[in-house]
Chains A and B, each alone.
Chain A
């Protein structure tokens, strides 16, 4: 009998101390930690290293993208989410960037492309509101605002899966080059 009584009072004390704890939070409204997201959009500051969608970096002086279309980031990316289309500059025979296609729906934001890029042309942006209504919008051309170089020399594709080299599995049925018109909003079949 004594053991039952002791257990009852022990139990009651435990229950009441639990209730006391929740009551303490009830009567301290200053401890509320809710952030009213859309309203506090202005004060919301991400730490400098927060990573989201990648962006091409422009050179400070002449405002041209630093990317030299070398394709290192294409090889570094585990998920084929970067495709670089480049032109052979007739004069200097050096490669020049034509189009930098970025499939955000396949990117896992691992940061390997930025890590592999030798000419510091890539940066992880901090734009965290990246939801879109149509998956085609996830295929972004990062250097959209740079003027395409005069006429369109035979642009040679530098992508992870150039047809010449893959053996068994051909490229996934993702964005095929032909489907991308120079117009900014490519209506490419979703991957």
Chain B
């Protein structure tokens, strides 16, 4: 399997085919004497920022931290063992509502979209 061509940047969907985002990052565990093991994928603006370079990475992290009120923003991670199907999209056996991935969309729903009538 070719990780950069077939996994990175591909569309991620959850159990109910809800579009969660794209594979913005790919995390592997370095083990002594054994090949690196893919452990998780990363999603979100912080992961994307880091891919553009060190400086954009810091800005994205700082912005995300301020927006989400957390002290230090880290990209969302989904464990690789939850992957179900790797096709043109990559399906994970999770329910996005129980993850933090949609936190920003929920925030927007409550504070902005919800306020506009007829949303």
A binds B: no
Interfacial residues, chain A to chain B (CB-CB below 8 A): none
